[in-house]
Chain A
Amino acid sequence: MNKMCFLKILCYELRRALMNRLFLGLLLMNGLSAWFLLSYDIIRGTAYTAPFSVWSYCTYLGRTLPVAAVTVLLLLSSYYSKKQKQVEILTAAAPFSPFDQVTIRTVTAGICFLLISLVVILLALLFYMRLFGFRNFAPFILPSVLLLLPCFILVNGLGQLLGSLHCGLIYVLMMAVLVLCNVTGVFDLFGAGYFSSVPLTLPAGADGEPAFTVGAGFIAARLLYLALGAACIYLTAALSARKSRKA
């Protein structure tokens, strides 16, 4: 498939996803829940640190991630719904490979996830600026990437893989996502538990707050999730290719 065709389909899928009432509703819900979280919880600060410390910011981002992950899974569920499977014979006739199809779906879901994350992050920045006059946002960049990327790749990969096996499994994954919210330690997929508990174990610095640091174990777990997600995406494409070869 040439690049133009790929881009055309991508643009179509993006328009379909972004103009969807469901996505707009979910975006609004993400924004509202994020604002409530900031106003009622993060405002107090995480683990005795400032509400605008990197610890509090990461906890906030981690708490918003389950809702964003469920949003992505809801979007993916429309790709693997019964209705979509009924028109698969037609879409299979389109001149693009199963790998391209999975890539297009991943990029579409990724842009939607990015958009949600941007709204959530911008709300936090606005909150910090307006309430505390805080503007030093540079330290937030790397932790944001560390939290968002593995989470999206894993949820998207698992969602696509399970969805391709059975559309109902995506809903099971949604339930699992909600259960995963409570996982703490280095394997905390969303990071909220990790970033709210680690500062309690660290000594306070000169400013009274523990210095921001991310353990090697946590980084390794993020890389593992990243690899696992990528493997799931690859497996989905491979399964889809095998299925189309059989057909």
Chain B
Amino acid sequence: MRLFSLYRVEFRRLLLSRTAAIAAILSILSLPLGNLLTAFSGGRSMSAHYILTPVLTGTTAGAIVWAVVMILEADRLQRSCVHVLTDAVAPPAFLSAARTLALMTLSAAVTVLTALVYLPCTASKMSYLFSPGFYFANFMVFMLPTWWVSILFADALYQITRRVELTCILYIALAGVSISGIAASDYFMRWINPFVITYSDGFPTIWPLRIGLYTRVLWLGIALGIWLFSILCIRRYQRGLVFSILRNIQKLPVLIPAVMFVTAGILLWDFQPFIDHGPDEYVASDNVWEIDDANRISAIRYSLDLDPATGTLSAKAEYDIQVPCRGEDVLNLNPGYTITKMTYDGENIPFRTVDSDINGQRPTYFELPEQLCSKTLVIEYSGFPTQGKYWSNSMVRDTIDRDYISLSSVAIVPILENYYTGVDEAAVADITIPDNLTPFLNHELMTDSVDNGDGTRTWRARCPKYIGDLTAGYYTVDAFRIGDLAVDFAYGTAYEEIVAKNDIQQTIIDILTYGTEHYGELFSANNNHLLLRQESAMFGGGYALRGVSTWFETVLAPDTLSDTDKGASATEVFIHEMLHQWWGGLGLSCADEELWSSEGLTVYSTYRLVKEKYGELYAQQYYVDAWKEAVDEQNRSFYNRHPEYLDLLPELYQAQIRSANKVINQYQRMPLMILKAEKLVGGEDKMDEILRQMYAERDQYQENDFYFTDFLNYLGLTEEDLNLE
């Protein structure tokens, strides 16, 4: 009761306080700073530009502002030397708690006010892409809890140190850890500046909000625990810290809750369900799988039930095993899933899951009775899919949402490496998802479905034992033909107007026509069928596979499509990904070496197409000159001049530098070398002739890949001839 009346007094006082008013104004005004300081990038979606960046900027700036107000408020009585009097009137712990709660309430009101202030502008800018629920959720998930954490930390630090300058220094150090490079891509360590990769406009997912809320709750627990402990540090009888703690501990029962809150925060951190506990980098495996033909599966039935409300999957995989594998066998699943049941011929079989996550997979070991042949192995599993740690800072790959589903590999079905099916499509998959989503299984549009009448639809398709990709979203699929080639162009329904307005279909026809004229008829595995699919911005990039070419969402964003001065921009990535149908994937399968890969040929081909489309000057400036600059920088780099020092660095830096080098080698150095080769072989026409011949003879390289030496043989040149000076 006393606390409540003190809280009312404090809140009323804060409402009239000039400092609090200035803090509120600064917090509200800070939102546009993020976009003012960083120019609009075509790589960002509208949601990222108009919601994510402002909210995150306001979150961090506001957290600092409210921390300053908290420190000033906490020091107010001491500054004006009336704390001796107030301490006699009200218990200092109650007074401190009331002040903190009042400021937290005020910051909550400012959060709502901030959201309301920017609502009309954001709604009008984003037009039909605007979702009020998603907009407000961002403020409530990121901004408000972070401000509260900041207020609690600031007050706790002040109560412990009782010195404004020390509090500021400690707060800066605490915030510094979050803002520094150590926490650059860490979802959990960034307490003051939450980490979100981006947002998608066409394929909205609430995964960033889910992990955002989780990390905020985690930090609120830690901050609350520390703040409760700091209550014990409030100075009593003008004595020191130790005396005051000993005195307060007898009166205030807050030590146990403090420890409990901090422990809860730490446990939430340790047992978080979003990112697996694997290594930061991709671990290349030396294992060569030699599947014994005898370990044969005759038929597989997959039954997947996806629940968007909880983001979980419940699934059953049934394998009709003709001859079981001898000894202990292994299957890999997403680390977020739990195997609830495993039976063979109706009998439960023992299994053990080992917590050693590698490349987003967790192994489970089991053994089948050898004598039982032609029986059914049933694996039931369920759970919330985790992201592989090594990719989690660049993309959201596995997520189940109401409006968008994306699952890959072991997040769909288990991988049983030791079995052979004999036929391409040995499995039948039944997939239940919300009825308004268009699904693609292994990059093929699913067509056969049954309406369950409860807002879900079960889709059925034949597929191989291994399912690499399941994507479902609000897609529009346009089908058209270029000669004999049937093209399915799938893009987000939200982009329908843009696609029509910019005549994207014609651009696709131009690119495919260019490729066909210069390099030959497009090889397509599915009876001259090609799927072109737009991916969610959360996916992070595009790729090409057999008869499939995907590109990231913002290639179709209005700002990207209207900006022709940006040079090698996202629009040209669209061309790049399309050209991978000839170079890489299952066109000419190039080996992936330090210097040589399909990227060199694709980047060169993109340059040639752009040169033809936009002119020589444009291509020279945004391609050739840019390559030269990057290569020059690489040549000058210390660790490239002295690789012996690279080995002395910590592994993380070695990996970063080597990876950056590989990117420059494949995307800039190699295209420059191909350009040099073009001159040496006699010009563009001669080069096109050689490339056409290479593509025509691609079948020879399906087994062993097309190496740089093969390329040199076609050119009739040596590696030395192509060396760049």
Residues of chain A having any CB pair with chain B under 8 Å: 21-22, 25-26, 29, 32-33, 36, 40-41, 43-45, 48-51, 53, 74, 131-133, 204, 208-209
Contacts and interface: CB of A to CB of B under 8 A. Distances in A.
22 contacts: A21-B166, A22-B163, A22-B165, A22-B166, A22-B169, A25-B166, A29-B172, A29-B173, A33-B176, A40-B180, A43-B649, A44-B657, A45-B637, A45-B639, A48-B638, A50-B638, A50-B645, A53-B638, A131-B648, A132-B648, A133-B648, A208-B636
A51 B646 CA distance: 11
Contacts of B637: 45, 48
A74 B165 contact: yes
B181 interface: yes
Nearest to A47: B636
A45 B653 CA distance: 12
B653 A43 contact: yes
Nearest to B641: A208
A22 B181 CA distance: 26
Interface residues of B, number: 23
A105 B657 CA distance: 47
B633 interface: yes
B169 A48 contact: no
B239 interface: no
B213 to A, nearest CB: 29
A177 to B, nearest CB: 14
Chain A interface helix/strand/loop/mixed: helix
A53 B637 CA distance: 13
B165 A48 contact: no
Given A22-B169, A132-B645, 19 more contacts: A21-B166, A22-B163, A22-B166, A26-B169, A36-B181, A40-B180, A40-B181, A40-B182, A44-B653, A44-B657, A45-B637, A50-B645, A51-B638, A131-B648, A131-B649, A132-B648, A204-B636, A208-B638, A209-B638
Interface in B160-215: 163, 165-166, 169-170, 172-173, 176, 180-182
6 closest A-B pairs by beta carbon, nearest first, are: A48-B636, A45-B638, A40-B181, A208-B641, A50-B638, A48-B637
Contacts of A50: 638, 642, 645
Contacts of A45: 637-639
A32 B169 CA distance: 12
Nearest to A48: B636
A44 B639 CA distance: 8
Nearest to A53: B638
A32 B174 CA distance: 12
A50 B649 CA distance: 13
A132 B642 CA distance: 12
B572 to A, nearest CB: 28
Given A22-B166, A49-B638, A36 B180 contact: yes
Nearest to B649: A43
Contacts of A48: 633, 636-638
A48 B642 CA distance: 11
B135 to A, nearest CB: 34
Contacts of B638: 45, 48-51, 53, 208-209
Contacts of B172: 29
Contacts of A26: 169
Contacts of B642: 50
A89 B291 CA distance: 92
Contacts of A74: 165
